A = this chain, B = another copy of it.
Amino acid sequence: MAPITASRALGLPIGELSRLSGVNIETIRYYERIKLLAAPRRTEGGHRLYGRDDVRILAFIRRARELGFNLVEIRALLDLGGPGKASCGDVRKIATRHLHDIRAKMSDLGKLERLLSRTVARCTGKTAPDCPVLDVLDTARTPRPRGRSGIRPS
């Protein structure tokens, strides 16, 4: 139930904030726990009460997450855009590095896409003992350097 008369003296409960910002309730509490978000005031019973600013901040965070910024970067962005009113140059630095990462990732994905689509194209779909996909995977190339390479989830 959404009380239309919400924001009584600008006191949004967490569910309302969630709806307005597009951020999951559990995630909001998580952000508070890791101190990405300041702890809000509470009702006497202990329920969180947020203001309009919180909606903006959370929406900002959500958008930045959608753009692939991680929480460390977002924390930095929030600090920069915060009370100190730091330089746009610093923000640009973060964004530029991030852009660089994105381009690298796209290039990787591109290579991968070409390899995989070429391989799949060779597939007959029949029950064959020599499957091109498995073949490609089986050609273990460079046992590449000892690495903390980590390989991110797909």
Contacts and interface: CB of A to CB of B under 8 A. Distances in A.
Interface of A: 19-22, 24, 56, 59-60, 62-70, 73, 77, 80-81, 85-89, 91-92, 95-96, 98-99, 101-103, 105-106, 109-110, 112-113, 115-117, 119-120, 123-129, 131-134, 136-144, 146-147, 151-154
Contact of A154 (B20, B70, B120, B143): B70
A98 B154 contact: yes
14 contacts: A22-B143, A24-B146, A59-B140, A60-B137, A60-B138, A63-B137, A67-B115, A85-B129, A87-B126, A88-B126, A88-B131, A95-B119, A99-B113, A106-B106
Contact of A140 (B62, B124, B146): B62
